[in-house]
Amino acid sequence: MADTGRLGSRQGRSGNLEKGEPGSGGVAVLKESAWVLTLFCVACGAVVGGVVTLLAEWVVRLSWGPLQGPARLLTSVPEPWQGVGSVGAGAALGLAVGFIAVHESLSVRVSADRVVLGVRDSSQDFGRDRIGLVVRDGKQLVLLGPDGMEIAREECGLPWARLAEAFAAHGYRWADEDPHFEEFRRWVPGMPGLPDGADALLRARAAAREKDGADDARELRGELLRLGVVVRDEKGRQYWRVPGRH
């Protein structure tokens, strides 16, 4: 994604920011630092690999310890290859996780006339007139339309203070919590009040979430939005609201 505007400050783990003045055509871009995120995952993987070796040595000393076979196999490797191999395998796994984390991370591009959210290999483009309020909802960034209808909801690991600053600088309204929170009702199969077809979609979405079908759950959220139903997840449960209905 090409970036325009004046180059601003760069942060490590907390993201990069390209900053402009509201109304001047400036653009604020916040995104995860790919190399820092990847190195962080590699370091964590290396630590895990070292811990696995220590655990294996502890397990083989126990007559009743679990996974005795794999633990004995690992500890049978002579040093320094045992430690080097474990740390190296952990680092390689961390590298793979890091690549996935970068691919899944959210980028936010804010200008006076539009907001672009990028995740995976796709982006969502929202004109200024479509955005009534920008909301932090837990660990998710939410865009609401002027009518209170949700138009976007994405997991966000970016620094919230920088996000709030960027949106405010370009004239967007920001809220640190969802003003419609009290309107959400917990979904129970067969409950009344939902538009036709919404209950079936919520059933399908609940099943997809149990199977860790993130893509299916995301697609079904979009189908529910087309029916006028906003969905919010909390502790494995689905909550819903219909804008304009209390």
Q: Which of 169, 156, 145 shows the shortest CA–CA distance to 108?
A: 156
Residue 183 contacts residue 246 (beta carbons within 8 Å) = yes
Q: Is the pLDDT of residue 149 over 80?
A: yes
What per-residue string of b and e applies to 63-98 under the rule 16 or more CB within 10 Å gives b? eeeeeeeebeebbeeeeeebeeebbeebbebbbebb
pLDDT tens column, 82-118: 666 676 776 676 556 544 554 567 889 999 999 999 8
The pLDDT assigned to 21 comes to 40
Q: Higher model confidence: residue 41 or residue 240? A: 240
- Report the pLDDT averaged over residues 183-206: 94
What CA–CA distance (Å, rounded) separates 49 from 92?
10
Q: Which two tokens stand for residue 155?
A: 């997991």
Residue 137 contacts residue 178 (beta carbons within 8 Å) = yes
Q: Which two tokens stand for residue 20?
A: 């402009």
Q: Is the pLDDT of residue 22 over 90?
A: no
The pTM of this model reads 0.67
3-state secondary structure of 135: strand
Percent pLDDT > 90 in the chain is 45
Q: Which of 187, 101, 172 shows the shortest CA–CA distance to 142?
A: 172
Peptide bond into 80 cis (omega under 30): yes
Mean pLDDT (the chain) is: 78
What CA–CA distance (Å, rounded) separates 23 from 5?
12
Which domains does the chain possess?
7-32+105-175 (2.30.29), 35-103 (no CATH), 181-241 (no CATH)
If phi over 0 gives left and psi between -120 and 50 gives alpha, with beta otherwise, what is residue 14?
A: alpha
- Sole residue written with tokens 């310890």: 65
